[in-house]
Amino acid sequence: MTETLIRKTGRAGRITLNRPKALNALTHAQSLEIEAAIDGWADDPEVDVIVLDAQGEKAFCAGGDIAAMYHAGIEGDVESARAFWRDEYRLNAKLATYAKPIAAFMQGFTMGGGVGLGGHVGTRVVCESSRIAMPECGIGLVPDVGGSLLLARAPGHAGEYLGITGARMGPADAIWAGFADLFVPREAWPGIVEGIERTGDFDALRGAAEDPGAPPLAEHAARIDAIFATSDMAEILARLDADESDFARETHAAVRRASPLSACTTLALIRAVRGPDSIEHTLTMEYRATHRAISEGDLLEGIRAAVIDKDRTPKWRHGAIADVAPGEVEAMLAPLGTD
């Protein structure tokens, strides 16, 4: 089975992820194939626009292929994961800065690596089933693939909340938080894509957009800002403890499930990329953390607990957020020198 369907149809370059049984988890090979396709279409006069979508109803792309990363890592192969991230991040940057219009159709789960594919293009489409998240802290990583920049751009301190807890956004929340642009009912997608192929523009797509309704997360915006405005993770937990709302209790439990080192590093990472507001700077900062995630972080243990053994009881390097020293966070985000 061809895992990535790449073709030209009418005026459109078409890229379709084709691993529906694996929730279209992105492999290293697919990342390279997609990069080669968009490189080839950059100066192709037959391609006016690019459409990025996926087979299956459950997911556009539920993330990177972390199971393969785990099996290589436990054999002592750290470089395979680092090579994947380098190549994937280069693709993320190209998608974010591409000269021709790109539309991503993101049904179902769009998480981690899926956000890296669809979250940076010019037109990001969601539907009724869309569930978007950056859940990396739960597996001992940090929000990457440029996701920390989207988190930094979210209203107020919603990005810190979303990045640390890994909370899932429905279509209205995704648009409110800046992870998507248009809500279009799923049943309309095939006809719209056919029109794009024929015309080479997104006019019909924009015309088909509907109101997704009120974003539930916006109701908690003031509370989120009050809790997550601090740069101290211990203080965030203290503020959650002091807040007796159901939302605060659920958030507190989500923070407790995250890798303490990942949560603290994510908070610092989002603050570090918010000012420069640059995809290249963001990916550089993210790579510093992911480069160290296996050798110095919690990634292998997080993947083991979530995906391999599925016992949901990771044994993190730190027993609690209070055990993470500021110097450890600084070390995770320090320059890599020749690496």
Backbone angles phi, psi at 121, to 5 degrees: -80, 170
- Residue pair 199/11 in contact (Cβ under 8 Å)? The answer is yes
List residues with catalytic annotation.
Answer: 64, 113, 136, 144
Cβ–Cβ under 8 Å, residues 270 and 228: no
Contact 52, 15 (CB under 8 A): yes
- Among 309, 308, 324, 311, smallest CA distance to 259 is for 324
Which helix H or strand E contains 123, and what residues bound it?
strand 123-126
Q: How far is CA 11 from the centre of its chain?
A: 29
Closest CA to 224 of 309, 165, 157, 153: 157
Nearest to 263 by CA among 217, 324, 311, 312: 324
Look at residues 98, 92, 66, 79 and name the one whose alpha carbon lies nearest to residue 145.
Answer: 92
> Scanning the structure block, which residue is given the tokens 């199971």?
67
How far is it, in rounded angstroms, from Cα 91 to Cα 35? 6
Give yes or no for a contact between 251 and 161, defined as CB atoms under 8 angstroms apart.
yes
